[in-house]
């Protein structure tokens, strides 16, 4: 997978079905420099995981998820980490266009980081590096030690990520809609969702790239 060579606006247009970006804003992405470009896939709304023992998150039925997902996991319920609807505009799913596999990052608002720190991080529990965690998971995002240098606690396998973005309606006019994507689709390797002590969430390992067609294996 080659890196994108175009400027950020052109990359955004390609991965959003031809729709142009209407703004460019600075965001703080853990592990990346302040001037490192990232491309927004959309406004983050939910993350659905198969939680590890002891991870307390609400459960939702897999059967209630949209048919847009590539494949359903072989389980009845998943754990849901949801962003407050009042805070949608301040939480983003972005990817690194310079990374050979277009690594995804979660840019959270201060209130979302606070909630993750209070409810997901366990003081005194074992931690590991993102690279070691990715190695345990496997997939092409585990092949190189190019993760932020932080210690994390794994939360569970990430099966779905949901975000708002523009999609074309029947009349040809774009409008915002929720887009749910199955991570590790087509029998790939699902990444793991992890949290650090500051409440930042990370996606470690797995098989995916952010191509013109969207997030794909």
- Structural domain contains residue 2: no
So what's the pLDDT on residue 159?
Answer: 92
- Structural domain contains residue 209: yes
So what's the pLDDT on residue 179?
Answer: 83
Confidence of residue 69 (pLDDT cuts 50, 70, 90): low
More confident residue, 70 or 77: 77
| Res 67 pLDDT > 60 | no
Structural domain span for residue 80: 8-216
Read off the pLDDT of each residue in 17-34 and give the average, rounded to a whole number.
74
Confidence of residue 123 (pLDDT cuts 50, 70, 90): very high
pTM, entire model: 0.88
What's the Cα-to-Cα distance from 18 to each of 74, 160, 162, 194, 212, rounded to whole Å?
A: 35, 24, 20, 33, 10
- Structural domain contains residue 3: no
| Res 36 pLDDT > 70 | yes
- Structural domain contains residue 63: yes
- Structural domain contains residue 149: yes
Confidence of residue 90 (pLDDT cuts 50, 70, 90): very high
3-state secondary structure at position 167? strand
Give the count of domains, the chain: 1
Structure-token pair, residue 122: 């366990």
- Structural domain contains residue 50: yes
| Res 8 pLDDT > 70 | no
- Structural domain contains residue 152: yes
Beta strands in 52-207 (DSSP E): 59-61, 77-82, 92-95, 104-107, 128-129, 151-168, 174-182, 192-195, 201-204
So what's the pLDDT on residue 17?
Answer: 61
């Amino acid at each position: 997978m080659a890196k994108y060579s175009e400027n950020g606006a052109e990359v955004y247009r390609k991965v959003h079905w031809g729709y142009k970006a209407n703004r460019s804003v600075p965001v703080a992405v853990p592990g990346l420099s302040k001037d490192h470009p990232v491309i927004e896939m959309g406004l983050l709304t939910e993350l659905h995981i198969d939680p590890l023992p002891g991870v307390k998150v609400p459960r939702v039925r897999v059967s209630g998820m949209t048919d847009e997902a590539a494949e359903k996991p072989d389980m009845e319920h998943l754990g849901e980490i949801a962003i407050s609807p009042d805070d949608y505009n301040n939480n983003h799913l972005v990817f690194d266009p310079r990374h050979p596999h277009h690594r995804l990052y979660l840019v959270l608002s201060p209130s979302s980081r606070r909630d993750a720190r209070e409810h997901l991080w366990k003081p005194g529990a074992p931690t590991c590096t993102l690279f070691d965690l990715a190695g345990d998971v496997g997939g092409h995002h585990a092949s190189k030690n190019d993760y932020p240098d932080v210690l994390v606690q794994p939360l569970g396998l990430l099966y779905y990520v949901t975000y708002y973005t523009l999609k074309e309606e029947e009349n040809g006019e774009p409008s915002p809609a929720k887009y749910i994507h199955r991570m590790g689709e087509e029998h790939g390797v699902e990444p793991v969702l992890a949290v650090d002590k500051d409440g930042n969430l990370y996606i470690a390992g797995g098989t995916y790239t952010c191509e013109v067609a969207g997030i794909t294996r």
